[in-house]
Structure 1
Amino acid sequence: MNKRSPALTLVQHGLLALMCVIAVFPLYWMLISAFKNESEIFTASMFPHKPVLTNFTYAFDEMPIFRMMLNSFSIAIMTGVFQMATSLLAAYALVRWRFRGQGLIFSILSLTWLIPYQAVMVPNYSLVNSMGLNENIMGIVLPYAVSTFAILSLYQSFQSFPRVLIEAASIDGLSDFGILVKLILPNIKSMVASLGIILFLNGWSEYLWPMLITKEMENAPIEIGLRLFVNSDTNMWGSLMAAATAACIPILLIYILLQRQIVDSFVRYGMK
């Protein structure tokens, strides 16, 4: 068994290396395609023979990339803030007070998580359209202001918090909001930070709903802007790869800066 262990370890590391290559290769191909000229963009060359920057200049001239990145950041941050605020209050209310129908409310919340978003997309679109929020960031953010996933996650954390401490703080005269902000949150800040990262990334990667709300590049997040660019100029694949490369840089920098926290968030919630 000991003689086979090094071979087994080698095979395992080889498989991991292969999976890493498979995962990274599309990003590598996107990067090299951004520097290829039109004559070699469809070739199987692994390196651009004559690297060019015209793809980047054309992409930045034809697309408001910085504006769309700002839109994506605004949507992701606002969505995360709204979801975190509503989830904290809802989860705290379910844990703090005992009232008739509490179990029913919790069951309904749990069931809403199972409803596909496509089932409520048309009513949401009708409501947003009637409010005149098309081509508006708030039209994208408001339907996502509440997250059942976040409520249930915080509910589990609040349930594990010692209720004796909550009662003691209440007897000492601390208000309910003060108990939440001054007592509970400081003790579960790592969990709240992990959840905040997940909510931000979910808001950043949302595609279907923003595609329905925005039709102009100036008002769209970066993912929708890339789709609009494809529809408007289908032959400029080099420029599309350049724009996609530029769009990946901010989120890549965030990952590098918060690598440990992001990995912890994925491990904590078992999400990809």
Structure 2
Amino acid sequence: MEPTAPAAKQKRLRWGTGGKHLLLILLCLFAIFPIYWMVISSFKGAGEIFNNSLFPSSWSLENYTYAMEAIDIVGMTANTLVMALSQTILQLCTAVMAAYALTRWDFAGSKLIYALFSLTWLVPFQAIMIPNYTTIVGMGFRDSLMGVIVPNMASAFAILSLYPSFKSFPKALIEAGVMDKMSACGVLFKLILPNIKSSIVSLGILLFINSWNDYFWPALIISQGQTTLQLGLRSFMSAELTSWGPLMAASVLASLPILILYLIIQKQVIQSFVKWGIK
């Protein structure tokens, strides 16, 4: 006896849902596998670093010991943390102020300014690398974290990311705040920011990760002294030989702060994604 139409439709829906879940599981495994391989390789000895086993035959911490002796991981982590936090906070502050000004007041040239922000985001870093470098050298910030932070105090990406959140905020609430004799700063800090906190937190995570992983600009500015983790990882690589085991161990240690940060504020990130999905 053939199934009825509703039963057949429900069966197709179940198969379709199962297929989607299977595809998502495969994509998750595909995304997680490089991280898994990095962690597993960091515990392998020099004799089995190039084999294809999914587990080391004997777990060893020699790669972590060698990595911590070869480079100042604690000092480099502190330098990278200072650089990433400073850039993230400064970029969020400038983005909040710029997005608020562009959406709060309708002044002449506001659309032109927004268009210029959009255009500057499309300009590749290599096009402004030399002018930035000469400016930093002229300011005396060569070979210091300030030389890395100053050119990255503002981000067009951050401004363009916050602009829709400010633009979609109900104007009736702003007008009510103005009627209650709130100042412009009061409207910003007491009305708008608490309601878009999840979006700011999510953007802050992206900015922090970008700053944390930045390699090219710090490599151009810093030659010694206040070295970051990403520059420290380079010391395990040379034209003759790459120490893969210690490199994997140092990479694991460099990834831990990002993982800890996400675990701390994952609730805000999920809330932000839910709000974006509803919109």
Q: 1:129 to 1:267 in 2, by over 3 A?
A: farther
Q: Tell me whether 166-175 or 76-85 shows the greater mean CA deviation.
A: 166-175
The equivalent residue for 1:237 is: 244
1:51 aligns with 2:59: yes
The answer on whether the counterparts of 2:41 and 2:248 sit within 8 Å (CA) in structure 1 is yes
The answer on whether the counterparts of 1:194 and 1:265 sit within 8 Å (CA) in structure 2 is yes
Describe the SS at the equivalent of 2:203.
helix
Q: 2:195 aligns with which of 187, 211, 220?
A: 187
1:110 aligns with 2:129: no
Shift of 1:5: 4.4
CA distance in 2, matches of 1:255, 1:91: 25
Q: 1:184 to 1:255 in 2, by over 3 A?
A: closer
Q: 2:228 aligns with which of 216, 221, 224?
A: 221
Residue-by-residue CA offset, 1:94-141 (whole Å, 9 max, x unaligned): 223332222222221222122122211121112112222222112111
The equivalent residue for 2:3 is: none
Structure 2 residue runs without a partner (length 5+): 1-7
Amino acid at match of 1:199: L
CA distance in 2, matches of 1:81, 1:114: 23
Q: Tell me whether 48-57 or 3-12 shows the greater mean CA deviation.
A: 3-12
The equivalent residue for 1:253 is: 260
Shift of 1:56: 0.9
Among the aligned pairs, what percent are the same residue? 47
Q: 1:164 to 1:136 in 2, by over 3 A?
A: same
CA distance in 2, matches of 1:10, 1:56: 42
The equivalent residue for 2:166 is: 158
Residue-by-residue CA offset, 1:199-258 (whole Å, 9 max, x unaligned): 222222222222222223x52221221123323983422111111111122222222232
Structure 1 residue runs without a partner (length 5+): none
CA distance in 2, matches of 1:253, 1:12: 30
CA distance in 1, matches of 2:129, 2:35: 32
Amino acid at match of 1:163: K
Q: 2:24 aligns with which of 6, 16, 22?
A: 16
1:87 aligns with 2:95: yes
CA distance in 1, matches of 2:276, 2:135: 32
CA distance in 2, matches of 1:267, 1:70: 33
Q: 1:62 to 1:14 in 2, by over 3 A?
A: same
Shift of 1:18: 2.3
1:121 aligns with 2:125: no
CA distance in 2, matches of 1:96, 1:22: 44
The answer on whether the counterparts of 1:197 and 1:265 sit within 8 Å (CA) in structure 2 is no
TM superposition score normalised by structure 1: 0.87
Q: Tell me whether 240-249 or 57-66 shows the greater mean CA deviation.
A: 240-249
Q: What is the count of residue pairs matched by the alignment?
A: 269
Q: 1:257 to 1:232 in 2, by over 3 A?
A: farther
Across the aligned residues of Structure 1 and Structure 2, the Cα RMSD in angstroms comes to 2.5
Describe the SS at the equivalent of 1:231.
coil
The answer on whether the counterparts of 1:76 and 1:200 sit within 8 Å (CA) in structure 2 is yes
Q: 1:208 to 1:259 in 2, by over 3 A?
A: same
The equivalent residue for 1:133 is: 141
Shift of 1:180: 1.8
Describe the SS at the equivalent of 1:174.
coil
The answer on whether the counterparts of 1:226 and 1:243 sit within 8 Å (CA) in structure 2 is yes
The answer on whether the counterparts of 1:195 and 1:265 sit within 8 Å (CA) in structure 2 is no
Amino acid at match of 1:184: I
1:196 aligns with 2:196: no
The answer on whether the counterparts of 1:79 and 1:145 sit within 8 Å (CA) in structure 2 is yes
Q: 1:267 to 1:127 in 2, by over 3 A?
A: farther
The answer on whether the counterparts of 1:56 and 1:239 sit within 8 Å (CA) in structure 2 is yes
The equivalent residue for 2:33 is: 25
